[in-house]
Structure 1
Amino acid sequence: MRRRTFLAASSAAAATSLVAGAALGQAKSPLLAEWSGPYGGVPAFDKVRVADFKPALEAAMAEELAEVEAIAANPQPATFENTIAALERAGRAMNRVQTYYGIWGATLSTPEVRGIQTEMEPKLSAHSDRILQNARLFQRIDAVYQRREHLNLTSEQKRLTELRWNAFVRAGAKLTPEQKQRVAAINQELAGLFTTFSQNLLHDEDAYVLYLKEPDLEGLPVDVRAAAASVAKERGRAGEYAIANTRSSVDPFLTYSARRDLRERVWKTYYSRGDNGDSHDNNAAIRRILKLRAERARLLGFPTHAHWRLRNNSMAETPEAATALMERVWPAAIARVREEVAEMQAIAEKEGAKIRIAPWDYRYYAEKVRKARYDLDMNEAKPYLQLEKLREGMFWAAGELYGFSFHPVTNVPVQHPDVRVWEVKRGPQHVGLWYFDPYARPGKRSGAWMNAYRTQETFDGKVTTIVSNNSNFVKGAPGQPVLISWDDAETMFHEFGHALHGLNSQVTYPTVSGTRVFRDYVEFPSTVNESWLSTPQVLNRFALHHQTGKPIPADLVAKIDRAATFRQGFDVTEFLASALIDMKLHLAGDADIDPDAFERDELKKLGMPEELVMRHRTPQFGHVFSSDGYSAGYYSYLWAEVIALDTVEAFREAPGGLYDKAVAKRLHDTIMSKGNSVHPREQYRAFRGREPDVKAYLRAKGFPTT
C-alpha cells in the first residue's frame, strides 16, 4: 500500500485552519480512528463507506500537516529525536485512511471509487510535495544529516537519517522556489495520469469477456471448463462459459484450447488492453507521462528519468549497470526461443496443421513439446495442486524456515466475504496477522500482490505487522476445490515470500520496516521463497489429489524437475523485452514518443522473436505507468532473481539442503529481519560473504554461463 510521508504545511496559519478540519473529520469518519480490537488493533473494514473516503483523506492530510508543521517550527536545535524520530510519529491517521482507500481502489473498485480517485490523487500528490519541498523542515533534517557521524546514533538511526535526507533531496529540497513549484505541478499532473491509466486498464479487463458454448471448449480440461462456467455465472450468463480478460483466465485458455481461431481472438483482446483507439486508450497518457518524467528529471539535475530513479535508490545505482545485466542475458534468451519455436513448428507440421507458429500458438504447442520431450503434461499435475492445500504447504515451509505457525481467526472484520485471516505466531509470541484475498471479481485489478496494512516497529512500543496476499484465482463451485497451475502455485509462493519478509521484520522504525527496501531488492526474498514449492517435503505432504488424497506421484515430480528449464526462452524473453523497453523509454529524455511505434521499432532493433510479445505491452504496463513504482525499474525482477538463485545455491551447498537450519537462520538474521535498516548490499555480503554471482541464474535457466 502506498504510504505518503514527510508532509508539512507552509505556514502556521495554514496549519491552524487545517487542525479544525482534522478535528471535524475525526468526529465524523471512523476511517481516521485508531484501530481497536485484538492483536494490537485491526482495520475496521466493517465501518468503511465509500462516501467517507474524500472527507477522511482531507482530514488526514490536515492532521498530518499540523503534526509536521510543529516539527518544522520547533525553536530547539534539530536533533534526531525532535526531527527524524518525530517524523516517524507523524501521519499515522493518514496511513490508516490510505490503507482503506488503497484496498478499495485495488480490490473493490466501483465507479464511485474511481471518481474519488480521479479527484483525490492530484490532491494527495500536492500534499506530499508540501513537505518534501518545505525549506524549514529540510534545514532541520539536513542539520541532523550533516552531524550524523558525531551524534552517537545507532546504525539504524544513521541509516534512517540518510534515507530521510535522500528522499527530500531526490524530491527537490535544494531547488529554487520556482523549480519546486514546477516539480509539484508535474507531480500533480502525473498523479491524475496514473489514475487515468489504471482506470482505463481496469475498464478493458472488466469490459472484454469472451462467452463460449459447449462446442467451443475443445481441448480445455475439466477444471478450466468449470472455472469458465463460474465466471459466466457470476456475470449473469449461467449455462455458458466465459474467458475473462485477465491473465489467470487467459493463460489456461491459450495453453489448452484446440480452437486456434478462439486462441487468436483471446490473445489479441488481452494484449490490446489499453490500446484499442477508443476513450480508454492509454497511448496519449503514456506520451504525456514520459514528457513530464523527463522534465522533472532535468529539474532535479539528472539527464533522464532512469538516472533519477536509480541513483541512491537502488542496488544497481545506474541505468548502465541495470542494462548491462539485461544485455548479458538477452542473447541466450532469444537463442533459446529460436530452439523452442523450431521444436513447436516441427510438431505442428507433423500434425499437418499447416501453420506458422504465432504468438497465440506458443503456449499451446509448448505443451505439446513438453509432452513429447519429457512425457510431461503439466495438466497431469493440476489435480494435485489444490489452492488450500498449497496454502497449508506455504505455512508449513515458513514454519520450518522461520519458526512461524498460522492460526485461523474469525474475530476480525474483513473487507469482502472471500477474505480470510490467520494469526501468525513464533512459539507463543504473536508476530502479526495474514489476510488472504484469493479470488477474482469485478472491480479487482488483475494479477497477484502483497500489501502491508500495518508495518512492524518498536520505537514507541511494540507494534506488530498486518500483511495480506491478493490473487485472482477463479472461484470454484461450492464445495469443490480450486485447482491451480504449477505457474500459479509458484506465484503463490512468490507473493507469500513478500509477506514473510514483512512478518520477519525486527526493526525499530517503520520507515525501514519489512518490504520498504530498494525496488531491485524487494523481489529478492519473494523469489527465494518460490524454491520451496518443488521440494519433496512440500509436495509429499500438500500436493494431494483432490479426489483420492494421494500425494503427487514421484515419477511425475521427477518429470517436472527434469523439465525445470523448459520454456525458459519464452519466459525470460517476454519479461526482458518489457524490462528493456521500460528502460529505453525512460532513457529517451524529452523525445516525443509514440508508445506503440517506439515499442515496435525498439523490439525490432533488439531482434525480438515475432512468435511472442512483451509480457506487459506498453499500453497495459501498470507496473510502469500506474505510478512511478517500477518505472525504469522493471529490470528489478531480473536483478532480484539473480540474487535469489545465488541464495538458493547457498542452501543447496549446505548439509541440510533447502531446509538447512543454519543457512535459514543466517538468512533471517542478515536479511529477512533487517528491512531497510542496513543497506541491501551490506545485507547480502553478510549472508553470502561476497557479491551475488549471475552464474547461478544462468545455470537455473539452462543458459550458457560463458
Structure 2
Amino acid sequence: MSEVNPLLVAFDEAPFSRIKNEHFKPAFLSALEDARKEIDDIVKNNEAPTYANTIEAIEFCGQHLDRISSLFFNLNAANTNETLQGLAQEISPLLTEFSNDITLNDDLYKRVKAVYDSRQTMDLNPEQITLLEKKFRHFTRNGANLSEEDKKRLREIDTALATRKLSFGENVLAETNKYELHLQDPGQLEGLSEGVVEAARQLAESRKKEGWVFTLDYPSYLPFMKYAKNRELRKKLYLAFASKGFHGDKLDNTGLVMEISRLRFERARLLGYESHAHFVLEERMADTPQKVMDFLDEMLEKAKPAAEREFQQLKDFARDTDGIADLQKWDAAYYSEKLKKKLFELDDEQLKPYFKLENVLDGVFRVTEKLFGLRFEAVDDVDKYHEEVITYRVFDEEGKFIALFYADFHPRSGKRGGAWMTSFKPQYRKGGKNQRPHISNVCNFTRSTKTRPSLLTFTEVTTLFHEFGHALHGMLADTEYPSLSGTSVYWDFVELPSQLLENWCYEKEALELFAFHHKTGEVIPMELINKIKASATFQEGMATLRQLSFGLLDMAWHGKDPSGVKDVKAYEAAAFEATRLFPDHQDTCMSTAFSHIFQGGYSSGYYSYKWAEVLDADAFAYFKEEGIFDQETAQKLRRHILSKGGTEKPMELYVRFRGREPRLEALLERAGLMKKTA
C-alpha cells in the first residue's frame, strides 16, 4: 500500500514529522489544480456578481494551497536543505504564474469591478468594505487593465523576480555557513568571556577541530566584535561579515541586486507608477516616497548632531585608551562596550546571568498575562519541524483556546540569520467557527553549553520581546477574513506591536517578573535596573543614523530609476554619504546581503522601523501615564489594534486607541534627542 502524502489530506496542526521533501511538489500541483477549479467556478457562476459569490469566494479560494505554501516557505527559511532550495526554485514560478492568472483574468476582474461599482448600494461593514477595496486594488494595481502584450511582460517580470529573490537569500545563507574563524592560540581569545570561549570550543568540537571556532551567526559574531581585544582578528571577522555576497564568485549578489531593482522599476513603470517605491507606498501609511524622504530627512536633522558628538566621544575614548588614531568599523562595538562600561559601570556580561533564555521567555509570557490575561501551556503533543522547537497552547483568562505557538531560538546551518515572526495558519471566521492561528517566533540566540544555560545579552532580550510583540498581533487576531487578519497590515504599521512590547524590558515592574540570577535566583538588583534605564539612550544618535542609512539605501534602490547603476558599491556609498561616520572600505558592501529589501518584503519599506518607533514611543507614553500594566489601556490596545489586523486604516485604529494621532516628540524625548519639556 503506497504511503499517503500528508499534505494531500486536510489537516489543522502541521504534520511536520510525516512530511518528506518529495511530498511537496505533488502537493503543490494538486492544490494548484484545486485552486484553479475554484477560480473557474467563480468565473462561470451564472448568477450576477455579489459580495458573497465573488469577493468572499476569492478570499477563501486556495486555502489548502496557502497552508502548503506557508509550511514550505517557512521550512525553507528555518530548516532548509539543498533539496528544499531546489524545490523553491521550481515551485515559486508556479505560484507566481497562478497569482498572475488570477490577477490578469479579465472575466474575474469584471465580476470584482461589478461588485466594487455597486458598493454604495450594499450594506457592508467596515471590514467588508476594506476587503472589497483591497481586492479591487489588487487587480488594478497588478495589471488587470494592461494590454495583452504588457500582461505577458508582467508575467515574465514576476517569474524572474520570484526566482532571483530566492537566489539572493540562498547566497547569503551559503556565505554565512561557509565562513569560520578557526583559532588555536589561547592568546587570541583575550577579552572574551568564559561562556563565549566555551561556546566556540564546543562549536570547534562539533566540527572535529582543535581550538575555537567563530562564525558569522550573530551569537558567535557579536560577542567577538564586542569583547575580543585582538584588533586584527576583529577586522578579519568584520570584513567577512560585511562582504557577504560581494566576492565576485558564484555566491556574488551584485548582479542580483541590480537585476532585482531594475525588474521592480520596470514592473512599476509598466503599471503606471514613477518607481517601485511609488507603487509600494501607495498602500502604506506614508503614502509617497516624498513623505518617506521628508521623514528620514527630519530624523536625520535631529539625530546627526547627536551622532557626531557621540562618534567624536568614541574616537577620543579609543585614542586615549589604546592609542587608536584611525577608528574603524571593526572597532565600533569593542570601544562602545568599553565606553558604556566606563560611563554606566554596565556591560552585557554583568547582565547576562539574569537573562536565562527560559526565564526571559517565561517573563514575556507573564507580561502578556498581566496585560491581556493570556496563559501559555507547554505541550509535547504538537508535531515539530526540528527537535529544538518548543510548542505552547495559548488560552485566555476564561480558558478559551487562543492560538498555537511555536518557538525556535538557536542558529543552525539550515536556518537563515536574524529573527522573525511567521504564521503556519491564519485566524479567520468561516462557517460559524473562529479558526485560531498557529504562530511561530524564529530567532538566533546564544546556545547553552555543557556548563551553562543559554544566557541572553540585553539586546537578545529586547529581540525576544520584539518578535513576541509580532506574535501577539497574530495570536490576538479576531477578524472575518484571513487576508486582513493579524499582521496583515500596512508594513509601516506592522512594527508597532513588536517595538511597543520592547519597552517593558526597561521597566522595574516587568524585569522583576523574570530577571533572576541563573545560579542564585536573586532578582536583578535595582542598581542594575537603574543602569539599564540610564544607558538606554547611550549612542542613540549613532544608532538612529545607522537605521536611517538603511532606509536611505532602500529608497535609493527603489525610489528612482536604477537602470543606470553600473557599480553597486559606488551607488551604495553615495546613498550612505549623509549618514557616514566611519571610514568606508571598498571590499565591503551592505546591499549584497540586505535580505530585508532584496529577499524579504521590506523593499521601499525599511523606513518603517523608524516610522513605527514614533508610534510605539507615543503609545508607551500612554501606558506610562496610566501604568504599564493598566488593564484599561491594555484592553484598548487589544481591542483597537491587536485584534483588528488590517480591517481598517492604521491611523484610524491608532487614534481610536490613543485618542489622537502620534507625536514625534515622544520618540525624540525617549531617544534623548531633545530636552524634555517641563
TM-score norm. by structure 2 comes to 0.96
Which residue number in structure 2 is paired with residue 32 of structure 1? 8
The size of the alignment, in residue pairs, is 670
Relative to structure 1, the CA distance from residue 354 to residue 303 in structure 2 (aligned partners, 3 Å threshold; closer, same or farther) is: closer
Are 2:477 and 2:645, in contact at CA under 8 Å, matched by a contact in 1? yes
Which residue number in structure 2 is paired with residue 498 of structure 1? 470
Are 2:218 and 2:417, in contact at CA under 8 Å, matched by a contact in 1? yes
Are 1:505 and 1:674, in contact at CA under 8 Å, matched by a contact in 2? yes
> Which letter maps to 2:225?
L
Are 1:490 and 1:533, in contact at CA under 8 Å, matched by a contact in 2? yes
Are 1:48 and 1:100, in contact at CA under 8 Å, matched by a contact in 2? no
Q: Distance in 2 between matches of 1:159 and 1:149?
A: 13
- The 3-state SS of whatever aligns with 1:30 is coil
Q: Tell me the alpha carbon deviations over residues 304-341 of structure 1, each in whole angstroms, 9 at most, x when there is no partner.
A: 11100111x11111111111111111133332232222
- The 3-state SS of whatever aligns with 2:492 is helix
Are 2:411 and 2:445, in contact at CA under 8 Å, matched by a contact in 1? yes
- The 3-state SS of whatever aligns with 1:450 is strand
Which residue number in structure 2 is paired with residue 13 of structure 1? none
Which residue number in structure 1 is paired with residue 258 of structure 2? 287
Relative to structure 1, the CA distance from residue 234 to residue 335 in structure 2 (aligned partners, 3 Å threshold; closer, same or farther) is: farther
Q: Tell me the alpha carbon deviations over residues 609-632 of structure 1, each in whole angstroms, 9 at most, x when there is no partner.
A: 1258999911101111114x1111
Relative to structure 1, the CA distance from residue 479 to residue 48 in structure 2 (aligned partners, 3 Å threshold; closer, same or farther) is: farther
Q: Distance in 2 between matches of 1:462 and 1:533?
A: 33
Deviation at 1:607, TM superposition (A): 4.7
Q: Distance in 2 between matches of 1:543 and 1:483?
A: 11
Which of residues 177, 189, 205 in structure 1 aligns to 2:176?
205
Q: Distance in 2 between matches of 1:478 and 1:46?
A: 28
Deviation at 1:411, TM superposition (A): 0.9
Which residue number in structure 1 is paired with residue 620 of structure 2? 648
Q: Tell me the alpha carbon deviations over residues 627-675 of structure 1, each in whole angstroms, 9 at most, x when there is no partner.
A: 4x11111111111111111101111122xx2111111111111111101
Q: Distance in 1 between matches of 2:589 and 2:360?
A: 27
Q: Tell me the alpha carbon deviations over residues 213-269 of structure 1, each in whole angstroms, 9 at most, x when there is no partner.
A: 3322110112222222233333333x4322211233211111111111111011110
Q: Distance in 1 between matches of 2:429 and 2:91?
A: 32
**Is 1:54 matched with 2:25?**
yes
1:257-296 equivalence runs, <5 A: 257-296=228-267
Deviation at 1:303, TM superposition (A): 0.7
Are 1:359 and 1:613, in contact at CA under 8 Å, matched by a contact in 2? no
Which residue number in structure 2 is paired with residue 69 of structure 1? 40
**Is 1:440 matched with 2:429?**
no
Which residue number in structure 2 is paired with residue 622 of structure 1? 595
Q: Distance in 2 between matches of 1:212 and 1:27?
A: 48
Instruction: List runs of 5+ in structure 1 lacking aligned partners.
Output: 1-25, 36-40
Which of residues 514, 525, 528 in structure 2 aligns to 1:542?
514
Are 2:258 and 2:562, in contact at CA under 8 Å, matched by a contact in 1? no
1:8-19 equivalence runs, <5 A: none
Further displaced range: 316-325 or 115-124: 115-124
Q: Distance in 2 between matches of 1:429 and 1:337?
A: 49
Which residue number in structure 2 is paired with residue 633 of structure 1? 605
Q: Distance in 2 between matches of 1:91 and 1:571?
A: 43
Are 1:334 and 1:608, in contact at CA under 8 Å, matched by a contact in 2? no
Are 2:201 and 2:213, in contact at CA under 8 Å, matched by a contact in 1? yes
- The 3-state SS of whatever aligns with 1:468 is strand
Relative to structure 1, the CA distance from residue 336 to residue 34 in structure 2 (aligned partners, 3 Å threshold; closer, same or farther) is: same
Q: Distance in 2 between matches of 1:205 and 1:354?
A: 30
> Which letter maps to 2:550?
S
Are 2:465 and 2:498, in contact at CA under 8 Å, matched by a contact in 1? yes
Deviation at 1:575, TM superposition (A): 1.5
Q: Distance in 2 between matches of 1:382 and 1:612?
A: 33
Q: Distance in 2 between matches of 1:616 and 1:330?
A: 22
Which residue number in structure 2 is paired with residue 394 of structure 1? 364
Which residue number in structure 2 is paired with residue 512 of structure 1? 484
Which residue number in structure 2 is paired with residue 681 of structure 1? 651
- The 3-state SS of whatever aligns with 1:321 is helix
Q: Distance in 2 between matches of 1:111 and 1:379?
A: 38
- The 3-state SS of whatever aligns with 1:515 is coil
TM-score norm. by structure 1 comes to 0.92
Which of residues 351, 355, 379 in structure 2 aligns to 1:381?
351
> Which letter maps to 2:380?
T
Which of residues 333, 336, 346 in structure 1 aligns to 2:303?
333
Q: Distance in 2 between matches of 1:248 and 1:328?
A: 34
Are 2:447 and 2:454, in contact at CA under 8 Å, matched by a contact in 1? yes
Alpha-carbon RMSD: 1.8
Relative to structure 1, the CA distance from residue 575 to residue 245 in structure 2 (aligned partners, 3 Å threshold; closer, same or farther) is: same
**Is 1:110 matched with 2:86?**
no
Instruction: List runs of 5+ in structure 2 lacking aligned partners.
Output: none
Which residue number in structure 2 is paired with residue 19 of structure 1? none
Deviation at 1:438, TM superposition (A): 0.6
Relative to structure 1, the CA distance from residue 611 to residue 560 in structure 2 (aligned partners, 3 Å threshold; closer, same or farther) is: farther
Which of residues 254, 257, 262 in structure 1 aligns to 2:225?
254
- The 3-state SS of whatever aligns with 2:376 is strand
**Is 1:598 matched with 2:574?**
no
Which of residues 361, 365, 375 in structure 2 aligns to 1:405?
375
Which residue number in structure 1 is paired with residue 336 of structure 2? 366
Are 1:454 and 1:466, in contact at CA under 8 Å, matched by a contact in 2? yes
Deviation at 1:348, TM superposition (A): 2.3
Deviation at 1:399, TM superposition (A): 0.6
**Is 1:343 matched with 2:316?**
no
Deviation at 1:478, TM superposition (A): 4.8
Are 1:33 and 1:93, in contact at CA under 8 Å, matched by a contact in 2? no
Q: Distance in 2 between matches of 1:536 and 1:61?
A: 52
**Is 1:692 matched with 2:665?**
no
1:112-511 equivalence runs, <5 A: 112-213=83-184, 214-237=186-209, 239-311=210-282, 313-427=283-397, 428-460=399-431, 461-478=433-450, 480-511=452-483
- The 3-state SS of whatever aligns with 1:31 is coil
Q: Distance in 2 between matches of 1:229 and 1:166?
A: 55
- The 3-state SS of whatever aligns with 2:80 is coil
Relative to structure 1, the CA distance from residue 240 to residue 56 in structure 2 (aligned partners, 3 Å threshold; closer, same or farther) is: farther
Over the matched positions of the two proteins, sequence identity in percent amounts to 34
- The 3-state SS of whatever aligns with 1:303 is coil
- The 3-state SS of whatever aligns with 1:520 is coil
Q: Distance in 1 between matches of 2:264 and 2:421?
A: 27
Which residue number in structure 2 is paired with residue 12 of structure 1? none
Q: Distance in 2 between matches of 1:532 and 1:149?
A: 45
Are 1:230 and 1:475, in contact at CA under 8 Å, matched by a contact in 2? no
Q: Distance in 1 between matches of 2:583 and 2:376?
A: 44
Relative to structure 1, the CA distance from residue 699 to residue 547 in structure 2 (aligned partners, 3 Å threshold; closer, same or farther) is: same
Further displaced range: 208-217 or 395-404: 208-217
Which residue number in structure 1 is paired with residue 494 of structure 2? 522
Q: Distance in 2 between matches of 1:178 and 1:129?
A: 14
Are 2:545 and 2:579, in contact at CA under 8 Å, matched by a contact in 1? no
**Is 1:552 matched with 2:524?**
yes
Are 2:548 and 2:579, in contact at CA under 8 Å, matched by a contact in 1? no
Are 2:554 and 2:603, in contact at CA under 8 Å, matched by a contact in 1? yes
Relative to structure 1, the CA distance from residue 530 to residue 613 in structure 2 (aligned partners, 3 Å threshold; closer, same or farther) is: farther
Q: Distance in 1 between matches of 2:400 and 2:450?
A: 36
- The 3-state SS of whatever aligns with 1:491 is helix
Relative to structure 1, the CA distance from residue 584 to residue 391 in structure 2 (aligned partners, 3 Å threshold; closer, same or farther) is: same
- The 3-state SS of whatever aligns with 2:430 is coil
Which residue number in structure 2 is paired with residue 576 of structure 1? 548
